[in-house]
Amino acid sequence: MPAFDALKLIKELNRQEIFFCLANVTGASRLLVGASDGNVYDVDPLAGDQPEFKPLGGHAGFVTGVAIAGESIISGAYDGKLIWRGLASGEKTREIPAHRKWIRKVVSSPDGRLVASVADDMQCRLWNAESGELIRELSGHDERTPTHFPSMLHTCAFSHDGQRIATADKVGRICVWNVSDGAQLRRLEATGLYTWDPRQRIHSIGGIRSVTFSPDGKLLAAGGVGHIDNIDGLDGQTRVEVFNLETGEKLAELSGDGKGFMNQLIFSADSQRMLGLGGAGSGLMQVYDLEAKKNIKSDKVPGPVHAATLSADGKHLFACGHGRVLVWEVDQEAPVAGQAD
């Protein structure tokens, strides 16, 4: 089981594009990576020194969500469209005008039958992954911030059993939904991830950029950036808030040693540790001990990380960001910090 204590960076692929999202093909090192030029790139980062980045076009604007469901690749972008492509061929099979504003995230359910998309129209939509049929719409986020500016719906995540989905927005609101009937199960407020400047810029910044369920289904973690004194720059500390899903109680507020957004959170299999990746001008990686409620390890990363995922076998960590794709080897036998060898 990865304890995240030993991660060895083995590959750094530098590119001109900004990469916002990625999905890993189960059982392979193949990645689908969404980019700033409107392409989804198909690449195996472990295939030699200079692997080919094969462009799969179709979007007009930043591709900020990509998922694999069954035999399909589904991507979402600034243009509000969802595009289906064959996983084997890369050929486009379906295009849907899914949202009226920027799609921020696309995820698939654990069984691959559903796809969820969230966008700045403040809607989460659940789709049949095979047919493209809209199954239901989840509406629990305000279109405007408390100070009457447009809000954003940044992220979403399915629980590991696929029975729940969480959606999270700019002002720190999290809604937890029952997938089968769309009932809202809980509303949580992570207000420490939102900054409003009423004096100089009269503007807000922040929001939840990553949300994830623990494997045991008991916890939900939200990541972003803490209070920012100068909103012209991301000078706030990274911040993670952890909630008990049964009671709604906030269990921990975790600040890291670096600055910028915590854009990706990944639980260990036993739900006791959590890996966070993100950054601002520079990239960072942090490991949190959830029982001790503290950050126990911090490392620098080549550039800010926008998205990351563990391979299905837990042996590799893949990440993407400004102009690069990164790969780490994960030592699954590494002793947990604070315990005997």
Contact status, residue 90 vs residue 73, Cβ threshold 8 Å? yes
Contact status, residue 304 vs residue 280, Cβ threshold 8 Å? yes
* Residue at 141 is within a domain: yes
* Residue at 115 is within a domain: yes
For 321-334, b/e burial (b = at least 16 CB within 10 A) is: bbebbbbbebeeee
What is the distance between the alpha carbons of residues 74 and 239, in angstroms, rounded to a whole number?
A: 30
As a whole-number percent, the residues of the chain with pLDDT over 90 amount to: 83
What does pTM read for this prediction?
Answer: 0.94
Residue 73: which domain range?
A: 7-151+178-188+246-330
* Residue at 84 is within a domain: yes
Half-sphere exposure of 31 (CA within 13 A, CB side): 31
* Residue at 170 is within a domain: no
Flag the least confident range among 97-111, 199-213, 233-247, 313-327: 199-213
Q: How confident is the model at residue 19 (pLDDT cuts 50, 70, 90)?
A: very high
Number of domains in the chain: 1
pLDDT one-digit tens code per residue, 49-83 = 999 999 998 899 999 999 999 999 999 999 999 99
* Residue at 162 is within a domain: no
* Residue at 198 is within a domain: no
* Residue at 96 is within a domain: yes
* More confident site: 72 or 235: 72
pLDDT one-digit tens code per residue, 154-183 = 999 999 999 999 999 999 999 999 999 999
What is the reported pLDDT for 30?
98
Q: How confident is the model at residue 203 (pLDDT cuts 50, 70, 90)?
A: confident
Q: How confident is the model at residue 335 (pLDDT cuts 50, 70, 90)?
A: very low
The first and second tokens of residue 174, run together, are 């999290």
The first and second tokens of residue 294, run together, are 């503290």
pLDDT one-digit tens code per residue, 91-140 = 999 999 999 999 999 999 999 999 999 999 999 999 999 999 999 999 99
* Residue at 164 is within a domain: no
**Under 8 Å CB-to-CB from 5, ≥6 apart: which residues?**
287, 297, 331, 334, 335, 336, 337
User: The CATH number of the domain where 26 resides is what?
Assistant: 2.130.10.10
What is the reported pLDDT for 341?
27
